[in-house]
Amino acid sequence: MPTDTGALDGDPFRVELVDEDIPTPRRFQVVFDEARIDPDVQKVVRRLVRHGYQAYLVGGCVRDLLLDRRPKDFDVATSARPEEVRELFRNSRIIGRRFRLVHVLFQGGKVIEVATFRRNPKEDSEDGSELLIRSDNAFGVAHEDALRRDFRINALFYDVEARQILDWVGGMEDVRRQVVHTIGDPETRFREDPIRILRALKFAGRLGFAITPDVYDAVVYCRDALALAARPRLSEEILRLLRGGQARRTIYLAWETGVLDVLLPEVSALLYDDRGDDGPGQRLWRVLDYVDRRTAADRPLDDTVLWTLLLLEPMKEACDGVRDRAAAVADFLEPLIDRLAISRRYADGMRRIVAVLPRLAGGRAGRFARTDIFQPALDVLAAELTARGESTEAIDRLRSAPQPRRHHADAAQHRR
């Protein structure tokens, strides 16, 4: 049996290839820092295995462990059906329609997500002419579950007991090379689910990975397919691009590939209009730098703030020469709400923030300081002033000033 030998000294890429028989996966012996693996997720996996089911850690958590990062959450894939998982864990519930899975609940609000192995439902289709996946609830086996995933770096399975990585798709090599590549033909995968285009940009930006040339070309070629994606999913994925700690790099990739032209032409037009360091495009890049610094400092910004900052420059242009700034912003946002299903809560917050920004910049808050949008508005103003290279002393004074008590009548009026 061929082996790749190397001392297991903590470097996950110095591995022993245990088995490469086809169709079984290549198995890589690895050593992870146990402190990085949540003890509750280990309990979930071991209980499933103890009752005769296959169960592995899967996806992003395995990738992050290989990159010596601490995973934010852990997902489990298993041969057990949702009802069988529910029977094993009294502290669980079955959720989802499009994608039924089980949430196992622990103290402190922790949730471990457990999904049954699935296969690509296209394999069951008699007519393969339509690529777009509309349901993802066909159960399968472990290797089918790996093959249906979007990118090779996200299709690695970790066997907790054996301390082995199971790799059916070449994901270990992609992690080693630090590249993003689809499982199978990129164009086919993007037309099956156009949201994968945004996920490719997200992983390249967040992880600092390169996009392979054929995947990059497919992103450009298939970008118009994003119009077929569910609008709430588009909105959520854009927020994930902004939350991931590499907003500038990721939005740049979206602009460079023309994806931003499809989703937010109002923003991409400003970026094409290069007016030097003082232009709105350059200010947007500096604002996104500010967003990334806040994320790195573990002081992430509210989602309403993120939307406002991404759209701030075109919203300000919409307000030029207009007395009613709130109405101008509302008119500007209407086509975006329709295109991306941006929630009315976010749109209302953006409208109110942009309307009051000039007053806050002058150090005047008044009754606005009583509202729930006051602190997010200060965050937006801080980002804008920083991008302009101007002092933020006015914000410091507003934050430190005693806030007027919010009366019950005001609160009731605000809720209405």
Please report, as a single letter, which amino acid is at residue 159.
D
Determine whether 217 is an active site residue. no
Q: pTM for this structure?
A: 0.85
Task: Decide: helix, strand or coil at residue 151.
Answer: strand
Beta bridge partners of 92: 104
Token representation of residue 106: 């622990």
pLDDT band at 15 (very low <50, low <70, confident <90, very high): very low
Average pLDDT over residues 397-409: 63
**Same fold for the pair 22-121+131-177 and 178-340:** no
Which of 75, 145, 174, 292 does the annotation list as catalytic?
75
Task: Decide: helix, strand or coil at residue 375.
Answer: helix
Which of 19, 40, 64, 73 does the annotation list as catalytic?
73
Question: Whole-angstrom Cα distance, residue 386 to residue 401?
Answer: 21
Determine whether 410 is an active site residue. no
Task: Decide: helix, strand or coil at residue 294.
Answer: helix
Whether the per-residue pLDDT at 281 is higher than 50: the answer is yes
Whether the per-residue pLDDT at 355 is higher than 90: the answer is yes
Q: Any idea which fold 22-121+131-177 has? A: Beta Polymerase; domain 2 (3.30.460)
Beta bridge partners of 235: none
Taking only the tens place, the pLDDT of each residue in 361-397 is 888 888 888 899 999 999 999 999 999 988 888 888 8
Task: Decide: helix, strand or coil at residue 104.
Answer: strand
Angle between helices 247-256 and 231-243 (to 10 degrees): 130
pLDDT band at 123 (very low <50, low <70, confident <90, very high): low
Question: Whole-angstrom Cα distance, residue 114 to residue 103?
Answer: 6
The closest alpha carbon to 5, from 22, 25, 28, belongs to 28
Whether the per-residue pLDDT at 44 is higher than 70: the answer is yes
pLDDT band at 154 (very low <50, low <70, confident <90, very high): very high
Please report, as a single letter, which amino acid is at residue 297.
A
CB 341 within 8 Å of CB 232: yes
Residue 66 pLDDT? 96
Token representation of residue 270: 């400003």
Question: Whole-angstrom Cα distance, residue 396 to residue 416?
Answer: 31
Whether the per-residue pLDDT at 133 is higher than 60: the answer is no
Q: Phi and psi (nearest 5°) for 27?
A: -115, 125
Whether the per-residue pLDDT at 4 is higher than 90: the answer is no
Tell me 60's DSSP state.
H
pLDDT band at 130 (very low <50, low <70, confident <90, very high): low
* Second-level CATH architecture of 178-340: Orthogonal Bundle (1.10)
Average pLDDT over residues 92-116: 89
Residue 136 pLDDT? 54
Choose from 95-109, 204-218, 378-392 the range with maximum mean pLDDT.
Answer: 204-218
Question: Whole-angstrom Cα distance, residue 384 to residue 405?
Answer: 28
The closest alpha carbon to 203, from 67, 341, 34, belongs to 67
Determine whether 150 is an active site residue. yes
Helices vs. strands in the chain: H and E counts, helices first: 19, 11
CB 244 within 8 Å of CB 206: yes
Which of 38, 145, 150, 167 does the annotation list as catalytic?
150
Residue 158 pLDDT? 97
The least confident of 187-201, 313-327, 390-404 is 390-404
Per-domain boundaries in the chain: 22-121+131-177, 178-340
Helix H or strand E segment including 209:
none
